[in-house]
C-alpha cells in the first residue's frame, strides 16, 4: 500500500513538473513575441507629420516676411536727387556752374577749383589760392564767432549789393590782419530755396574778386 502511494505521488509530481514547465515556456514565448513586435507608422501618420512641419515652415516664413515689410515701411524715405550739375567754360576765361536740382547758376574764374558738397545740406565750395566762396542751399548759415575771433575783427560793415536782380544786405567783416569775410542770405522766393553765401579774401583785391563771384549768382 505504501509503495502504491509513493508511485502515485511520483506520477503526480511528474505531471505537475511537466505542466508547469510547458506553461512557463508558453508564457515566455508570448512575452518574447510581444516584445519583438515593432510599431511601424502608418502612411497617414507620416503624411500628417510632414504636413505639420510644412505648415510650421510656411508660417515662420510668412511671419518673417511680414516683419521685414513692417520694418521697411517704417524706414524714413530718403530723398534721392539725380546729379544734373554741369560746369561750362566761357570765352572770356571764366566758367559757370549750373545746378539743375535747385535751378541756380554761378560764374567763377577759370583757375578756381569747384567742389560739390557731399553732406546733408547741399551746396558748393569755390576757391582759389587767396579767396573763396562757400554756398549752402535751403538754410540760413550766418557765421558764429568765438570771443577770440571777434577780437580779431576791426570793422563790421552792412553793405547793399545786387544778387539775382534783387538788392540784398551783405555783412562784411574786416580783420585787423587785412583779410575779409562776408556773408549774405538770399531769401526764398517764387519756389526758389533760400541760399547762404560766404566769401573770403586775404586782402581787398582778392575779396573783391570773391564778391564778383557772389554777385554772379542767379536762379534759372
Domain endpoint, select from 48, 74, 100: 74
Residue 185 C-alpha cell reads as: 542770405
Residues 196 and 92 in one domain: yes
pLDDT of residue 186: 92
Q: Same domain, yes or no, for 41 and 149?
A: no
| 3-17 pLDDT per residue, tens | 544 554 554 445 445
Model confidence at 220: pLDDT above 60: yes
- Domain final residue, candidates 74, 104, 119: 74
Rg (CA), the chain: 48
* 99/25 same-domain check: no
Beta-bridge partners for 109 = 94
Statement to judge: residues 90 and 70 lie in one domain: no
Q: Residue 70 CA to chain centroid, in angstroms? A: 16
Residues 128 and 66 in one domain: no
Residue found under cell 566762396? 133
Residue 189 predicted with pLDDT over 50: yes
The SS3 call for residue 40 is: coil
Do the Cβ atoms of 106 and 217 come closer than 8 Å?
yes
According to the per-residue pLDDT averaged within each range, which of 28-32, 100-104, 162-166, 199-203 is highest? 199-203
What per-residue confidence (pLDDT) applies to 1?
56
* 143 and 206 fall within a common domain: yes
Averaged pLDDT, 128-149: 93
Whether 59 and 144 share a structural domain = no
Shared-domain flag, residues 102 and 191: yes
Running DSSP on this structure, what letter comes out for residue 77? P
Based on the fold, state whether residues 38 and 131 are members of the same structural domain: no
The confidence band for 150, taking pLDDT boundaries of 50, 70 and 90, is very high
Whether the predicted pLDDT of 108 surpasses 50 = yes
Same structural domain, 182 and 106: yes
Tell me whether residue 17 is in a domain: yes
24, 53, 74 — which closes off a domain? 74
pLDDT greater than 60 at residue 18? no
Please tell me whether residues 98 and 118 are part of one structural domain: yes
Examine residue 79 and state whether it is found in any structural domain, yes or no: no
Query: Could you tell me which residue, 38 or 217, shows the higher pLDDT?
Result: 217
Task: List the CATH number of the domain containing 177.
Answer: 3.40.1000
Q: Which residues contact 213 (CB under 8 A, 6 or more apart)?
A: 106, 107, 108, 109, 112, 126, 133, 199
Sheet holding 104-109, edge to edge: 86-89, 94-99, 104-109, 218-219
Answer yes or no: do 139 and 199 share one domain. Answer: yes
Which letter does DSSP use for residue 36 in this model? T
| 80: in domain | no
Number of domains in the chain: 2
In a domain, 81, yes or no: no
Q: What is the pLDDT of residue 173?
A: 97
* Residues 134-143: tens digit of each pLDDT: 999 999 998 9
Confidence of residue 21 (pLDDT cuts 50, 70, 90): low
Residue 131 is assigned to a structural domain of this protein: yes
pLDDT tens profile 151-162: 999 999 999 999
Host domain of residue 208: 86-219
Amino acid at each position: 500500500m505504501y509503495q502504491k502511494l509513493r508511485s502515485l505521488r511520483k506520477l503526480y509530481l511528474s505531471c505537475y513538473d511537466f505542466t508547469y514547465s510547458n506553461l512557463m515556456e508558453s508564457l515566455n514565448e508570448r512575452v518574447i513575441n510581444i516584445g519583438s513586435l515593432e510599431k511601424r507608422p502608418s502612411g497617414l501618420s507620416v503624411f500628417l507629420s510632414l504636413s505639420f512641419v510644412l505648415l510650421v515652415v510656411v508660417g515662420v516664413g510668412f511671419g518673417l516676411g511680414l516683419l521685414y515689410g513692417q520694418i521697411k515701411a517704417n524706414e524714413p524715405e530718403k530723398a534721392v536727387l539725380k546729379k544734373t550739375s554741369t560746369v561750362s567754360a566761357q570765352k572770356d576765361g571764366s566758367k559757370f556752374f549750373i545746378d539743375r536740382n535747385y535751378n541756380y547758376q554761378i560764374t567763377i574764374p577759370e583757375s578756381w577749383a569747384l567742389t560739390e558738397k557731399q553732406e546733408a545740406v547741399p551746396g558748393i565750395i569755390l576757391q582759389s589760392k587767396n579767396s573763396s566762396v562757400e554756398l549752402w542751399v535751403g538754410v540760413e548759415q550766418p557765421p558764429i564767432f568765438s570771443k577770440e575771433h571777434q577780437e580779431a575783427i576791426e570793422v563790421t560793415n552792412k553793405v547793399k549789393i545786387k544778387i539775382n536782380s534783387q538788392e540784398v544786405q551783405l555783412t562784411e567783416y574786416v580783420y585787423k590782419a587785412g583779410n575779409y569775410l562776408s556773408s549774405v542770405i538770399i531769401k526764398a522766393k517764387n519756389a526758389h530755396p533760400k541760399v547762404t553765401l560766404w566769401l573770403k579774401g586775404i586782402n581787398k583785391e582778392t575779396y573783391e574778386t570773391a564778391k564778383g563771384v557772389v554777385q554772379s549768382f542767379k536762379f534759372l
